[in-house]
Amino acid sequence: MTIPTAVTRKATPVNIMSSMRPGRAQRGIAMTEFVIAIPVLLLVFMATVELGRALFQYNALTKAVRDGARYASSARTNTTGNFELTQAIRNTTVNLAVFGNELGAGDPLLEGLAASDVDVRLSGAGNGFVEVIADYQFTPMVGNQIPTFGFGDPIPISFTFRAASIMRVL
């Protein structure tokens, strides 16, 4: 009686290569992970872009208000030592804050910024300070509200920037 012996297969290059390949269950997993991750990555990217735009516009608004206050604080119309905020000084200050020039020519520094959004007034108990305040409505690139798809009112995402500058009259 003969005892059966184990049959061994001789390793060939084809068998070695097929054992190194990932199994059929792993096919397409990278594409699936990409499809799951791309919406999250795009959301983070867009949020970063919007935050950068908001900071840029707030910085431009603050600089415009500061320039207007600097002009108003140094624009004396008389030599008595008292500062009088005339309508001409007010108008020129508003033009500087909105358009970046004294004449009010050209496009506004920020899209949507109007002369009615800027206020120039004397500040403090005495007559020694001038204050320039501007309000600007920031609207993101994606619109001014997020739809809720029938689960309530849309969520507003636009908001108002307020910049103010107070300077001592020279």
**Tokens coding 134:** 């501007």
| 22 has pLDDT over 60 | no
Q: What is the pLDDT of residue 81?
A: 66
* CA 130 from centre of chain: 29
In tens, the pLDDT along 113-146 reads: 999 999 999 887 556 889 999 999 999 888 888 8
- The domain of 55 spans 23-168
* CA 68 from centre of chain: 23
Q: What is the pLDDT of residue 125?
A: 58
**Tokens coding 163:** 């910049």
Q: What is the pLDDT of residue 7?
A: 60
Give a yes or no: residue 7 inside a domain. Answer: no
CA distances to 8, 15, 16, 32, 59 from 21, in Å? 22, 10, 9, 19, 56
**Tokens coding 136:** 């600007």
In tens, the pLDDT along 59-105 reads: 999 999 999 999 998 887 666 767 788 899 999 999 999 999 999 99
Give a yes or no: residue 70 inside a domain. Answer: yes
Give a yes or no: residue 13 inside a domain. Answer: no
Contacts with 135 (C-beta within 8 Å, 6 or more apart), sequence order:
117, 160, 161, 162
Between 77 and 21, whose confidence is greater?
A: 77
Give a yes or no: residue 68 inside a domain. Answer: yes
Give a yes or no: residue 8 inside a domain. Answer: no
Give a yes or no: residue 1 inside a domain. Answer: no
Between 11 and 31, whose confidence is greater?
A: 31
Give a yes or no: residue 10 inside a domain. Answer: no
Number of domains comprising the chain: 1
Give a yes or no: residue 134 inside a domain. Answer: yes
For the chain, the average pLDDT equals 85
pTM score, whole prediction: 0.75
